[in-house]
Chain A
Amino acid sequence: MTAAPYNYSYIFKYIIIGDMGVGKSCLLHQFTEKKFLSDCPHTIGVEFGTRIIEVSGQKIKLQIWDTAGQERFRAVTRSYYRGAAGALMVYDITRRSTYNHLSSWLTDARNLTNPNTVIFLIGNKSDLEGQRDVPYEEAKAFADENGLTFLECSAKTGENVEDSFLETARKIYQNIMDGSLDLNAADTGVQPKQTLSRNSGQTPEKKDCNC
């Protein structure tokens, strides 16, 4: 790759989904700014953040869409699922109701993204161990059952936040490498840098930028 210093080989689009107040925006902020935002207003519609990471020596730009959590908004937010290569599904370990809703979030994620989309389960607020409402084992079992990768994180302390995002990227990259992810979605041909195009329905959301 003869990438210019600021260049990157791929853009991965992520979405963050989950119930209200589980800390989606805080996770995003922690990942992009490395700061905990204690007074974050709730998200309406969608928020957006980016960060460039490196996986196996490849620079990858993560373009992260953080959605509103309320169910009412799903008609609006599902528009943002499209073309996501990674989906971070978040619940709050101190509120069981947010865990109970995971199956419906998972259904959405499966239906609105393509089969190769990597779905990562995050149990947020791991710093509040004292108020834990969902045992780790239980969530782990759920994740295994549904073929999800799972980590407990804390957007407050930053614990495991980086890992969740990076691990998701690694999986996506691996899918590209082993060919399970069809990259010829780049039907636009050789476009300079970021061309986000997607194949009608079947291709995951990678952009291949080949400079």
Chain B
Amino acid sequence: MSLPTDSDESEEELWVISKEISLPSTPRSSRSSPALGPFPFPSSLSSSRPSPRPIIASTCNSASDPTIRLATVLENLPLTYNTETKLLERTKSLGVRQRNVENEQGAAVAADQAVESPEDGSTPKFKRGHMRRSSYESAEIQLNFARRRTPNANKKISSQVSDVLSASSSLNSLSHSLGGCSLVTPSTSGDPSTSSAMDTDFVDLSREKIDECANESVDQSASSSEENAQFLPKTVNGKKQFFLFSKNPFSRGKDASPNSGWKLFGSNKNKEHQGALMHTTGLILEGRPSNLPAKSEEEAEKHRKLYQDLLEQNKRKEEKLLKEKKQASIAQKRLEEQAAAACRSWTEQILPKWDKMKDSKRCHELWWQGLPPKVRGKVWPLAIGNELGITEEIYKLHLNQAITHLAEDELQKGAPISTLHRYINMITLDASRTFPKMGIFQKGGPYYEHLLRLLGAYVCYRPDIGYVQSMSFIAAIILLQMEPFSAFVAFSNLLHRPLQIAFFGVKQLEITQYFIAYDRYFEQELPDLHKHFDKINLRPDLYLIDWIYPIYAKSLPLDVTCRIWDVYLKDGEEFLFNAALGILKMHQTELLSMDFEDALRFLTHLPEQLQAAQLFRHIETFVRKNHGGSKAKRKTFAQILSEVTEQINSGVLSIENLMNGGSNDLSTLKMSRSVSGFVADLLSPTEEQQQNIPQVVADCLTVTN
């Protein structure tokens, strides 16, 4: 709502009207302080709907002219609600050009919106939003004033208000240009009055409606920084009360900086804080109760100064907050834009021409940055492929078998006879222990059945492999990305990769190759840490098994896991070992100072807040080097692995050798002491032959701190 403000001549009269309140004399100063923003509503008040009433200051532009003091203050003219136009209008008797002013102020929009608010007369709730935009000093004062008085001094106030009313009515009749005062009363008596501004009818004008309008107006006029507002505290319990609203008390602060505008409170963050502040700061400007000696001029000045300081402080704080918020939102926006752009690239350029694009540089770059979650469900199956040629028929066949078995399993409790039944039992048991914190794979969760069926279909499809613990994690990750059939194809083919065949089949020789290769690679890339681990005898199997089997799903946060999968599915098993070294390198400093127990605990319970970006920077140092093709004599993991494989295949190592005491063979394979312990155990063939483990090997088996 904008109201006309004309001259300072009315100031004197306003003084009369608002004698209860001390009025600051400079308008400009006071509005500059956002700190005032939220004014405090004591709980009693806020629950009894305090009513903010915005007034738009028209004078900001002219603010530099000290003569137009009143103008800036903006006065609250008595308003009525016109049910036909649904507008708040000045009472006719006052005859003011409300519309013009609105236009002039560019706040018309806000005002219009404001008046469109429902007029159902329902109790308007106090809206949080309005404070940050329009609350300001005068409201503060008014509120404090009112709050102090209302609860126990209704009658007194009424009479006071009556006095004021008469005063202001005469005032109004004298001059239309008067800034004015507003009188509002909570009323059940309904209709807005358009008659005399100051008579009881007016006073009775429907408060709720005004309040609503005011609220709305404030909420929607955020753009207007030159807005003025006043808040009309309401009474408790619907008792009729009169409140006097005068011009902004702060507007009197003559010495305040002329350039500060009616800055409204842009931030809603520290509302409460500000509210609390207002509470006391506003009070300081009030005069003392009549039974106490009045403030001296000096004191009043001091108080004003104090107040200004506080306002300034808060303003600065708020500006800072605002700035930070802005920066954060810009950064966020940039990220979102990047993600959206990446998503577009994937869906519009790469996916439609997959065969052509999949090896392009652009595609690889985007891939390294992590697939957009939306795209994973499409890209992963493409990256995994379907070497096994699984068709929908094959899937359905095994799925139906699985469903039958799953049902039987529930019927005949316990005593699983067949291997298949045992697998089904294990699957049921492990499903609820898969990502337990997510709560979606547990019995009753949305993915529980899907998980059972996927794993069930797989054991029916590959009874030779069956279910192996940690498969449930892999299945769960895949199910999160795609539909059951695609998931089955992806899952089966993924488990058909060499590393998975070796690990899930617990093929001792193959696993041995991986571990020896990892050991050498680790030694080559992070020699210090490798040495340390060897010294404390931290065998790689103690953490690597936990990482590799579920493809990091159990150890890393879900988003990081997915990013590792992104690259793993494209680049193959080598990446998993690079990722392992990436994790180690990322925490190298800490790990170097840890003993066996701490290091093991750390590696098997990696920090939950581990950041993908940071991790990938570390992994990159291993990956990029390999791509570089530099003449560095460093070997890639793949090269090392093939060396090891060659050695082993040439007969250096075999279960038979070990059984026959071929310890020399083992020792010719270069590996660290720590890994040899594991390898020796792994390769020991059967329980009966434990005694045959060569002494040399057995000596390596110590586990120490």
Point out residues on A near B: beta carbons under 8 Å. Answer: 11, 13, 20-21, 39-48, 50, 63, 68-70, 72-73, 75-76, 78-79, 82-83, 95-97, 107-108, 111-112, 133, 194-198, 200-201
Contacts and interface: CB of A to CB of B under 8 A. Distances in A.
21 contacts: A11-B705, A20-B429, A43-B469, A44-B545, A69-B469, A70-B426, A70-B469, A72-B468, A73-B468, A75-B506, A79-B682, A97-B414, A107-B687, A108-B687, A111-B688, A111-B690, A194-B704, A195-B704, A198-B702, A200-B698, A200-B699
B681 interface: yes
B545 A95 contact: no
B645 interface: no
Nearest to B600: A48
B554 interface: yes
A196 B549 contact: no
Interface residues of B, number: 49
Contacts of B369: none
A195 to B, nearest CB: 6
A77 B335 CA distance: 45
A195 B704 CA distance: 6
B550 interface: yes
B703 A112 contact: no
Contacts of B678: 79
B681 A79 contact: yes
B554 A41 contact: yes
B220 interface: no
B703 A45 contact: no
Contact of B704 (A40, A75, A133, A197): A197
B506 A72 contact: yes
Listed from nearest, the 7 A-B pairs whose CB atoms lie closest are A39-B436, A79-B681, A45-B545, A196-B704, A194-B705, A111-B687, A42-B433
Contacts of B508: 75
Contacts of B506: 72-73, 75-76
Contact of B433 (A40, A112, A133): A40
B434 interface: yes
A70 to B, nearest CB: 5
Interface string B666-703: 00000000000110011010011011000100110111
Most central of A72, A96, A197 by chain B CB within 10 Å: A72
B426 A196 contact: no
B597 interface: yes
Contacts of B430: 20-21, 42
Contact of A45 (B434, B549, B687, B690): B549
Given A20-B426, A42-B472, A96-B414, 9 more contacts: A20-B429, A41-B434, A41-B554, A42-B470, A44-B549, A48-B542, A70-B426, A76-B682, A200-B699
Nearest to B686: A111
B64 interface: no
A46 B547 CA distance: 11
Contacts of A20: 426, 429-430, 469
A95 B436 CA distance: 22
Contacts of B701: 79, 82-83, 198
Contact of B414 (A72, A95, A198): A95
B705 A82 contact: no
B687 A41 contact: no
Contacts, number: 116
A152 B5 CA distance: 87
A76 B703 contact: no
B442 to A, nearest CB: 8
A95 B470 CA distance: 22
A141 B195 CA distance: 102
Interface in B586-645: 597, 600-601, 604
B148 interface: no
Contacts of B436: 39-41
Given A111-B687, A112-B687, A76 B541 contact: yes
A47 B604 contact: yes
A159 to B, nearest CB: 23
Nearest to B550: A44
A195 B536 CA distance: 11
B385 interface: no
A194 B597 CA distance: 12
A44 B548 CA distance: 10
B544 to A, nearest CB: 8
Nearest to B699: A200
Contacts of A43: 469
B116 interface: no
Contacts of B468: 70, 72-73
Contacts of B541: 45, 76, 79
B435 interface: yes
B361 interface: no
